[in-house]
Chain A
Amino acid sequence: MSKERRSTYLWAFYGSVVVLLSWLAIAPSPILAQAGNNAVFGSSGPTGSAAWIDASVWSSSGDLCAVITYILSSAPGFPTYPSTGAVIDARGIVLPNGAQQTCSSQPWAPALTPSGGWPPATILLPAGNIQIKEPWIIPNNTRIIGQGRSTILIADGIAANGDMIDMGISGCTAGSNISIEHLKLFANSDQVNGIVNNCAQDGSYVDDVNLYGFGLVGLTIGAGATGSGPYTRLNYDNPKVSPGTPVCVIIKAQTLGLHGITCVGNLTVAGSPGHAAIYLDASNNTIEDVHFEGFWDGIEVGDSAAAKGNTIINVHGASDKYHGNITTVVHVCGPSFQNAIGQCANTNEPISDLTILQVRNDNGGLCTTTVQDDLTGTTTTIGTVAVPGATVGKYVLGEPVSGFSVPPYSRFAIDPSSVVAAQRCLVNGVYYSFNSSAVPTWGSGSAPLSSVMCTTPGALFSNTAGTSTSNSIYVCSGGNWLKIFP
């Protein structure tokens, strides 16, 4: 081959390569893929799918919140965010073990709000420690989903009495659709609240959230949050030594219920009357499947507002050496309180039509009780050292009966709680006498009771084997079972 001919071949080869590279560099993609989109195979190789936007493309270890903000606001260098919303997957932002992801500002910083407001989003947070220095104020149509307890939002310098998460921008209303799921909030010695919902309503809920180390309120459902919920699978916990005055939940609106929660306080609130894990200051709520440790009261009903038509089911109060006892598992606020177990902040709120089912006091202490009803001055079964586990099967409080200076209430209780001898209980350095109340109920059996003693005045007893009016139905009166027929 001549030298000239070889040269011609080389130049032809170089030219072909250059043309190929130029084509690869400048040719348009068959479908205009966007950075962060998932890569899926199309007819001509990988292309972008808008199924989700992976935030790790812009930050493998930087400011997580800033990246979310930029994505949501279509900042320069970021793709145009769909106005109808998208899934933002931040799970690919990986931090070394022990390292922390710092969010200097919240993802929905007011100063950066798009002209049309924040668009809808489902945000998948990564596992790891995410330090937040200001409250996250979550706008409508936003879902925050973590990876379970491994996703930890840590308060880091949030102003005292501030919140870690607010559900809804001030003024939000129906159709809010804000949810928080599968993550942990850690107060980290900040005197902050956990989740506060003052206005998010329909479609707004909290599920599978661990609230840890709060010296203030874990979950607040404000008066404007009507119709929100359910609030499910929650765990409010504190370390062995924890400061502050923990409050597990405050409910000030009708919700879709609180279903499944453990509340663990500290020795401060376990040792001082009036401190409750849950303040139920609203009407028409269901609270069920609850476990308490380390608060004076488990649930206070009507502490600072009216509370009508509520249902409380399956509540368990227990003790823990690091966090303390529960003194009263369910406390109905009212004027006829017992000094030995304290009073609510307010004693004259309208409370009625309350159903309480399956309450258990497992403290085993003599100065503890299962249900304390300050409206009727009733103390149900009190704890005993010998046999812990005092229970109340059913306690239904109806409405006050008019015409009395101290109105009685329609009421039905299933337990024939007889009066237990007075105990001496030390409260705030003072000894008070404490005894349980007689709670009339209706029993049945197959034996006559003539001229035998009873301890629950007003109680009824039916003898299913009765043969006449003299031995079929009895009333407990004057310390004896007496036939009820004339």
Chain B
Amino acid sequence: MCLAKVSKINWVLVGILSILVYWFTNPSLVYAQKGQNAVMSGTTSQVSSYAFVDLTPYGLNICQSITHAFTDYASSKRIVIDARGLSGTALTCATGDANPWSGTSLASIVLLPAGTITIYNTWILPSDTRLTGEGPTLTAIQAGTGFTTSTDPDIIDMGSTNGICGNPVDCQAVVVEHLALVNQNTSATINGIVNCCSQELSYVDDLALSNITGIGVEITGGGGNSGPYSRLAFSGSGTCINISGSPQTRGVHGLTCFSSGSSGALIYVDAENNSFDDVILQGGPAQDGIRIGYNSVAVSNIFRNVRGYGLLNVIHIPNNNSNVGDLTFLGTARSSGTNTITDELTSLASTPLTDANVGMYLIGQAVQASGSGVGYSRFTTSTSANFPTWIVGPNPPINPCATGSLFSCNSTLGNCVSPTHTLWGCANGAWSLIK
């Protein structure tokens, strides 16, 4: 064998052995696709898994990385994108970065990292999208200074009328949870989340809204049957929640709202059949906490456990019987501020309820007398003047009283039965025996 031939064989062998060495030490790189997770396939070997796609290898900002991941895996049915490995400057999108979901119809779950993610254009979420942060104190999506408000002033849109939700418009299963939305551009009117078009299985949970100058959460007519909207915390000069256009939702459950505004209401309810519970409202002395039915029909709503601080009215109901009726308030409280419930429908605006706590306040519908409305069915546990109630006690009542109230003396002994003094009514501020 000549020396040259031996040398060639040697180099071939060295090459093969080098490949083998490389394979032993870096097996996952042979098969992995960009961003896929590595899992152990043996004691030392790894393979890739499509369980999720980590954006770290993309080396781009978060908006661009999400867009590229959608492109790379466009043939998939869905994708779980894990952006939790991104940090620092990668969390700031470029001013020209468009909505990352604009070119995809993939079902997606996007896990956002802790940190402040700065965006300049609205994130419009299509059907079957779940946006999940690390918690509202850790993950924030910030509308940066220069955020494009001319085309869409919302930080997040749940669906859109731009065609992504089909015809009729009906996106489903759009979820936003465990994050904060922050407005850095306080000189502009910017909204938090607007749900115009997402219905069944679409909801918001564990969300903070900060420095919002527009509406924190807006649900319009196309958002019917969405919700619940739960565990929300709002701060800013704008409106906490606005439900308009007649969507019935799965309710707002758990809301803290701190308004730095000076007029208007913290919550507008201009829709039917919605439930609110566990709500804390703090605002200015000229503001309403919840304003119901001022702009459109808002019958058959229920509010439970609502507490207000510093407001003119915790609850404000207009004198408009075509817009309001069948309202239930359970557990309304005023820790500070002026009025607890101002009900212009069933009583005069000049006679609001100012009780620190109102256990129950129910409004029904118009009461007829000779075919004309003369008042409204109403029941309250308040014993304030101008609000008749039904009182039960073991002894005859003592003046004064709210005209129109009833008193049942329920003892089987003493003054209730000897002589029989069972039912009393209040006329002109004084109790009179009925039976």
Given A91-B52, A288-B275, A469-B425: A447 touches B375 (CB 8 Å cut-off): yes
- Partner of A462 from the list B10, B38, B364, B388 (CB cut-off 8 Å) is B388
What residues of chain B lie closer than 8 Å to A468, measured between beta carbons?
Answer: 427-428
What residues of chain B lie closer than 8 Å to A447, measured between beta carbons?
Answer: 374-375
Contact A389 B427 (CB under 8 A): no
Chain B residue with minimal CB distance to A290?
Answer: B250
CB of B389, distance to nearest CB on chain A (Å): 9
What residues of chain B lie closer than 8 Å to A459, measured between beta carbons?
Answer: 367
Contact A37 B39 (CB under 8 A): yes
Stretch at the interface among A143-151, A160-168, A424-432: A143-151
The CA-CA distance from A127 to B428 in the complex, in Å, is: 70
The CA-CA distance from A145 to B272 in the complex, in Å, is: 33
The CA-CA distance from A447 to B434 in the complex, in Å, is: 20
**Is B68 an interface residue when CB atoms closer than 8 A count as contact?**
no
The CA-CA distance from A131 to B363 in the complex, in Å, is: 51
**Is B228 an interface residue when CB atoms closer than 8 A count as contact?**
yes
**Is A186 an interface residue when CB atoms closer than 8 A count as contact?**
no
Contact B21 A35 (CB under 8 A): no
Given A38-B39, A452-B370, A461-B374: A24 touches B21 (CB 8 Å cut-off): yes
**Is B153 an interface residue when CB atoms closer than 8 A count as contact?**
no
The CA-CA distance from A485 to B435 in the complex, in Å, is: 8
What residues of chain B lie closer than 8 Å to A47, measured between beta carbons?
Answer: 40
- Interface 0/1 of A407-426, CB less than 8 Å to B: 00000111110100000000
Contact A444 B388 (CB under 8 A): yes
What residues of chain B lie closer than 8 Å to A288, measured between beta carbons?
Answer: 251, 275
The CA-CA distance from A28 to B43 in the complex, in Å, is: 8
Stretch at the interface among A107-115, A296-304, A320-328, A354-362: A354-362
- Partner of B434 from the list A13, A39, A262, A484 (CB cut-off 8 Å) is A484
Given A37-B40, A414-B377, A445-B374: A150 touches B46 (CB 8 Å cut-off): no
The CA-CA distance from A484 to B227 in the complex, in Å, is: 47
What residues of chain B lie closer than 8 Å to A469, measured between beta carbons?
Answer: 425, 427, 432
- Partner of A464 from the list B3, B203, B388 (CB cut-off 8 Å) is B388
Contact B300 A444 (CB under 8 A): no
**Is B101 an interface residue when CB atoms closer than 8 A count as contact?**
no
The CA-CA distance from A463 to B428 in the complex, in Å, is: 10
Residue from B200, B347, B404, B433 having most chain A Cβ neighbours under 10 A = B404
Contact A148 B173 (CB under 8 A): yes
Stretch at the interface among B75-83, B179-187, B256-264, B307-315: B75-83
The CA-CA distance from A237 to B172 in the complex, in Å, is: 13
Contact A473 B109 (CB under 8 A): no
**Is B140 an interface residue when CB atoms closer than 8 A count as contact?**
no
Contact B300 A92 (CB under 8 A): no
- Interface 0/1 of A34-58, CB less than 8 Å to B: 1111110000011110000010110
Contact B404 A21 (CB under 8 A): no
Contact B299 A464 (CB under 8 A): no
The CA-CA distance from A127 to B402 in the complex, in Å, is: 63
Known: A97-B76, A472-B426. 12 other contacts (CB 8 A): A39-B38, A46-B38, A147-B80, A289-B227, A314-B275, A358-B326, A393-B300, A444-B347, A445-B346, A449-B369, A461-B369, A462-B405
Can you spell out 15 A-B residue pairs with CB atoms less than 8 angstroms apart?
A10-B10, A39-B37, A57-B49, A91-B49, A92-B36, A97-B75, A97-B77, A148-B130, A313-B275, A314-B302, A359-B300, A416-B367, A416-B377, A443-B377, A462-B388
Question: Which residues of A are at the interface with B, using a C-beta cutoff of 8 A?
Answer: 3, 6, 10, 13-14, 17, 20-21, 24-25, 28-29, 32-39, 45-48, 54, 56-57, 89-92, 94-95, 97, 124, 127-128, 147-150, 208, 210, 233, 235, 237, 259-260, 262, 288-289, 291, 313-316, 357-360, 389, 391-394, 412-416, 418, 441-447, 449, 452-455, 459-469, 471-473, 481, 484-486
